[in-house]
Amino acid sequence: MSEDRIRGAGLKVTRARIAVLQALGELGGHPTADQVLAGISATGATVSRATVFNALDDLTGAGLVVRAGAGPGAARYEITGETHHHFVCGRCGKVADVVPPDDRPLPADPGEIHGRVDDTQIVYHGVCGDCLAAEV
């Protein structure tokens, strides 16, 4: 399946690209490149950190992977899927998906004024429910 997606995106199928896509799928959430590397290493495969970064760049450029907007810190990645935004906890660093309701309008399209918009990510920053519960 990974091979078909990579080929369908116009990329050459490589072991590193397959491993990165599989690791992203298995890890779920919004892992960093180092977490992807650890996930690959846990399977017994050997790949360099630079190769993981290169594969992530290639897969992102082909639209198979997106950088999850999570603010400052290490870049986080996820497999391209439904449109959503992110909530980032300022205490524990957890990143959670926020799927907007279909009936809620987004802000005006800046592309109408400034040019073409290729990507939009809204990032909410705050304190997650787990951290708030720990305060009690």
CB contact set of 120 (below 8 Å; sequence gap of 6+): 106
Provide the residue-wise pLDDT of the chain in tens; the chain has 136 residues: 789 999 999 999 999 999 999 999 999 889 999 999 999 999 999 999 999 999 999 999 998 998 887 767 788 899 987 777 888 888 988 888 888 777 666 666 666 677 777 777 788 889 999 999 998 7
Q: What is the pLDDT of residue 107?
A: 63
- Assign domain 82-135 to its CATH architecture: 2-Layer Sandwich (3.30)
Q: What is the pLDDT of residue 120?
A: 73
| End-to-end Cα distance, the chain | 46
Identity of the amino acid at 126: G
Q: What is the pLDDT of residue 105?
A: 61
Residues of the chain with CATH 3.30.1490.190: 82-135
Residues of the chain with CATH 1.10.10.10: 2-78
Q: What is the pLDDT of residue 50?
A: 97
pLDDT digits (tens, 9 = 90+) for 66-86: 888 776 778 889 998 777 788
CATH 1.10.10.10 holds for 2-78: yes
Q: What is the pLDDT of residue 47?
A: 95
Q: What is the pLDDT of residue 101?
A: 73
pTM of the full structure: 0.77
